[in-house]
Amino acid sequence: MNQNPNVFLNSKKLKLFLASNSPRRKDLLQKAGFEFQTYPVKVSEFLDKNLNLDDGVKQIARQKAVAAYSELILSKSQDFLVLASDTLVVLNGEVFGKPENKDQAFEFLRRLSGQTHTVKTAVCMIDASKKEACEIESSLVTFRNLTDDEIWCYIETGDPMDKAGAYGIQSVGATFISKLDGSLDNVMGLSISLVKGMIDKNGWTVHQRTI
């Protein structure tokens, strides 16, 4: 029988804290049956130019996790696991973050039109004993050709303004996509299969509800 030996070392159930206020990430965790509390933190989301993209996005996710850990540990809580995540959209090596204004949102979507881009989502977890794990998953997304009118109509809904690459795959932005290679959850901002795999691999046990 193949049992993870860490399971017996960390059998106590941990309270899960999501270091984010993202409605997409909250929805994904809820639908997966996790019990958790949101604990949003503010950190710099600028990529370190000295790191490659994978390491850079993992570093941002880790900074969020560490910030939440540092505050939670002060409350003398001993049985917690922090989950933090960060998502980037990359086209031909160029990073598209959250648009600063409508014109930039238009520029992003116009350039993504008819192209295949990569969505990278990093996940970092830290427990109360400072044990941590950070991993990343990538998905390939291909947009059909978009007209300027439909791009502007989408921008006017306000949906693109808080999303990397200026689109959300769980809303109208899904109609722009002609092909997806990889996890839909990952494009939405949190790969649930990655989260579950990391929890299992590290022997963590968290509270879950019946679904």
The whole-angstrom separation of Cα 31 and Cα 34 is 8
Neighbours of 151 (CB within 10 A): 22
Provide the token pair at 192.
Answer: 């649930």
Burial letters for 178-201: b for 16+ Cβ neighbours within 10 Å, e otherwise? eebebbbbbbbbbbbebbeebbee
User: Which residue numbers are catalytic?
Assistant: 86
Q: Where are the beta strands (DSSP E) in 39-79?
A: none
